[in-house]
Structure 1
Amino acid sequence: MSDTTTARRHELNLYRRYFELVAAGSKTIEVRVKYTHLANMAAGDTIRFRIKNTDETCDVRVLRVTEYPNFEALLDGEGPANVNPTTSREQQLANIRGIYPPEKEALGALAIEIELISARS
């Protein structure tokens, strides 16, 4: 069985403020660093987001994964309102870089387009 034709399921933690946006369906682009365990993520995969140390989860379907050289290029390419409709581009960039230091950003940035399947708490 080939990995390229098999939809995979991923489990990722999410801060509550971002989780709420995903669960509401208003956040359609998830930003991640291109870690090796995410490099094979593709359209058709599912992600279960969890608020760390809770049972609160929401499931999303991956529609598209696009790689960018850094977070600025990602925000310009995807549009800040799709990443976080409640925060300015400048604040988003500061928030993302607060989560991921420069050596992580240097690995590359992934824009993961998602659609909500279900949320439960």
Structure 2
Amino acid sequence: MTDSPARIHELNLYRQYFDLVAAGTKTIEVRVKYPHLADLAAGDVIRFRVKDTEEICDVRVLRITEYADFETMLDTEGPHKVNPTADREQQLTNIREIYPPEKEALGVLAVEIERV
């Protein structure tokens, strides 16, 4: 049996969230269930990039959990894992500014990550 190399997925991340991931304090990344994320799996590597920069941060995917909506995801995962600098209500507002209702309706993914 041979170990295959981890698949690498490249995703953009806003600066404020990138800095939290790079510091290791953000351990849950929130995404909606876009088709290009369908093959994302535990063990894969996500290479986060601040858009229009060369700054990158690699993380390993530990698990992916799907939720019906952002509220359920925050209540289950814990807002401090998603963004330790904002309370639950502020996070809900921020996430919904990024992902409007039609995107949330695709399904919500909580991606547990750790720095590589």
Q: Give the TM-score taking structure 2 as reference length.
A: 0.94
Q: Which amino acid letter does the alignment assign opposite residue 49 of structure 1? A: F
Q: Give the TM-score taking structure 1 as reference length.
A: 0.91
User: How many Å apart are 1:9 and its aligned residue?
Assistant: 1.1
Equivalent residue of 1:31, what SS? strand
Partner of 2:83: 84
For 2:112 and 2:71, the matched residues in 1 are separated by 17
Equivalent residue of 1:95, what SS? helix
1:52-91 mapped onto 2 (5 Å cutoff):
52-91=51-90
Give structure 1 regions of 4+ aligned residues with deviation exceeding 6 angstroms. Answer: none
Partner of 2:21: 22
For 1:49 and 1:38, the matched residues in 2 are separated by 14
Partner of 2:12: 13
Partner of 1:115: 114
Partner of 1:96: 95
Fraction of identical pairs, as percent: 73
User: How many Å apart are 1:7 and its aligned residue?
Assistant: 3.7
Partner of 1:33: 32
User: How many Å apart are 1:10 and its aligned residue?
Assistant: 0.4
For 1:12 and 1:98, the matched residues in 2 are separated by 18
RMSD between aligned alpha carbons? Answer: 1.1
Q: Which amino acid letter does the alignment assign opposite residue 13 of structure 1? A: N
